[in-house]
Structure 1
């Protein structure tokens, strides 16, 4: 725990309410959300102090470079989205007081009181009204387009993934449309015998997802060998755990995928539980997507990498023989639980030929590429598809709307 700053004057009323608000957030979310708000305390001299459990040197927003500012605001918006969804849920449960307390926290960041601590956003003096920014100030608010704040490689990957998903999911409908006689202009005939494809997502929630996307295999080895003695090389630890973290990138990417998913497609999600049985969270339809996004934001990276078992669990829940299916895997490395994921992928290819697996490599290594290679899927990483995705982004929307007759 470290003190970030303190107020000049004596403490005033309202400390208990602030503490209670933090308690509400902590009750429903992992520390990553609650740690957005510095903890208020009354110092020995009566002044209010602001503390945090985040480790690292606090830096004011204005001291950061443009790219660091954008990344910090992106993480801030993620936390805000989680609070919005929780406030709505609490209101629906009849907990109006708690919902009202959370809604008072929702709004643009007060940049004069926003810090970066090891790449994570931290607000101090958040119980007070934000200072009004004069009109002549730099137009920071106009940069709130969320896609600008994502890691630079994430946009092209998502655009290309959306295109391929539209082509894959829409192909049965598009093929029938191309070979059918047109009835009349702007008419569309849907074939009830054509089943929509199945979609499952496997999200790596292993301990290595706590590391930076820039961390190497050697960094991973060092990290796990020194978990009990992190002070051995604090500079090395800070470098391999700085933002953007793999888990944050995966959450952003998957959330954007849910938002962009065609309304007719339901999504199953499977996550790791160490080397134990993977967690199948079930299938989510269009109406359940807000709950799905909230659940994604609450996931915590920890324990082993049950890559093979999770792939098997996702495939087992799908047809892949009489019905098309796609599994999208967000992973950062190879299986860490003693199984051969390449053999699993080869078996799926034999037994479920209409099921393919696309791999999004968060860590940019090739240890699990055999999954996509065996099933006819694709591998996406930080180093490919950037120019192609931008050119085809608009085309993917056209294919999707034509294929579904919307």
Structure 2
């Protein structure tokens, strides 16, 4: 845990209330949400200090560029939605005191108290009431004075000049956006391998084996947040719990679709598979040739979903084994949410795009959580969304078929 900042005042008013709110947050939320709020502590000299379990260099919001600020506020809004949903659920269950404590956290952030640590938002002084401006006296409204309207006539030859000035102004305002669009990597298409001496594209699959893959393919993002905050407590809504855990579950559909994809893969393509191991180092199961595909399918059938979402580390692990510079490559990531291990997948994807420009990452997103879409956007890949079993199988097939097509020149 690291100290992010400290207050100048030694006043400890309200510290007990803040600690109570921290206990509520830690009780109900996974780390991905709980880490939004810095932990208040009393320093050795009596001042209040704000600490965080996130690792990395804290940067104040105003130090970030426009893109980083936008991305940070998007994640902040996601975390706030989770707090609101929990407050509503606690209110419904008669826990009004805890619900009120959480509702005091909901609202736009004070940007002076907002930090970024590896792309994740951190809010300090979140328990301090925002200063309210003193009400200003009502303005005296003077009686309207009737005035004769004056018309301004411009010579006709000035109109083209005004239009030119308006055009120049529009270009000046819009140039940063136009420049960003021009510099955005455009999707690339693999060329067919006609030269018998040329190597076929490299191919890797990253399969999400986190605990959320045990949920139903029909479960929504809101269902998932509820399940990991309240769904496993005594008194949780049994009907909702049964609905979001009934089959077919995401993991079973993923295994079936992935096994079918292995059978359909072009014979010239070897395939590597990487899976999660909580927030520990991902598991690289190795590369499988055509002759090893039966063993690969058996291994896929034996996978078990459990623990955290190491999306970023798994992406890095797969990319490290691939060329991406003078040989084409495709990574298909089959995931159901954003990174849950405190790493920034968007920054890693940007680095891959710079260092391995011929490596493309396709994303099959089964929870419609847009926080990971930046991986595909940065590398010129595509995002496939899936809301049910049939769509999921089709999305995985579509996301990977281009690598077979690039090697199939018959």
Q: When the two structures are superposed, what TM-score results if normalisation uses the length of structure 1?
A: 0.49
- Structure 1 or 2, whichever has the larger Rg, is 2
